[in-house]
């Protein structure tokens, strides 16, 4: 069975974006970029909630005209060719060939995706979908990168989740600035 890996960048005080929605603080150095590439190689599809999808589907198709960042330029072709799944109760279709799910029973739909053959599902960013899937016991691994910034508010990484026991699978410093905390579900 495929696993769902939740990959998220957060501030030291636990936010995924600042009070005004800003996400200009996460820096992708060579080691973090290499870790991100490892996760992409494990993935058979990218999984997004609607809000993150709107950001991704705007940025990645036109990234070459918006950025010269080496990580972005290397990731763009990976993003374009990877199957994408958008979980939304409001969308019926999505650009870039993405598949839309989530209009029905979320547990059954995501469970069916996990049961499909293939590589893992990589859930990137966002907190509402991650919270819903956490509540359903469907996320197998949490890959949390803590960046050296305090935002003082914004969107927390985890919203409306009950206590959950996790097992630390790995921790490491990346690029002498960020910390990867990789957890597995279970005590």
Q: What is the pLDDT of residues 6-51, one digit of tens each?
A: 999 999 999 999 999 999 999 999 999 999 999 999 999 999 999 9
Dihedrals φ, ψ of 39, to 5°? -65, -40
Q: What is the pLDDT of residue 161?
A: 87
In the chain, what percentage of residues exceed pLDDT 70?
99
- 85 neighbors 46 (Cβ within 8 angstroms): yes
What fold, for 4-185? Dihydrofolate Reductase, subunit A (3.40.430)
- 127 neighbors 156 (Cβ within 8 angstroms): yes
Q: What is the pLDDT of residues 114-150, one digit of tens each?
A: 999 999 999 998 899 999 999 999 999 999 999 999 9
pTM, entire model = 0.94
4: left (phi over 0), alpha (psi -120 to 50) or beta: beta
């Amino acid at each position: 069975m495929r696993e769902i890996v939740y990959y998220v960048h957060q501030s030291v005080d636990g936010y995924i974006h600042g009070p005004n929605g800003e996400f200009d603080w996460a820096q992708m150095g060579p080691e973090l970029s290499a870790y991100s590439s490892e996760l992409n190689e494990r993935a058979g599809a990218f999984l997004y909630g609607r809000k993150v999808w709107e950001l991704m589907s705007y940025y990645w198709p036109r990234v070459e005209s918006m950025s010269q960042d080496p990580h972005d330029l290397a990731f763009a072709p990976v993003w374009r060719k990877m199957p994408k799944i958008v979980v939304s109760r409001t969308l019926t279709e999505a650009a870039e060939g993405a598949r839309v799910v989530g209009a029905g029973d979320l547990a059954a739909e995501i469970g069916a995706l996990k049961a499909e053959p293939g590589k893992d599902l990589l859930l990137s960013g966002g907190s509402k979908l991650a919270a819903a899937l956490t509540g359903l016991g469907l996320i197998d691994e949490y890959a949390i990168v803590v960046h050296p910034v305090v935002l003082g508010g914004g969107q927390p990484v985890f919203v409306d989740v009950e206590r959950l026991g996790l097992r630390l699978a790995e921790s490491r410093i990346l690029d002498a600035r960020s910390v990867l905390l990789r957890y597995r579900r279970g005590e």
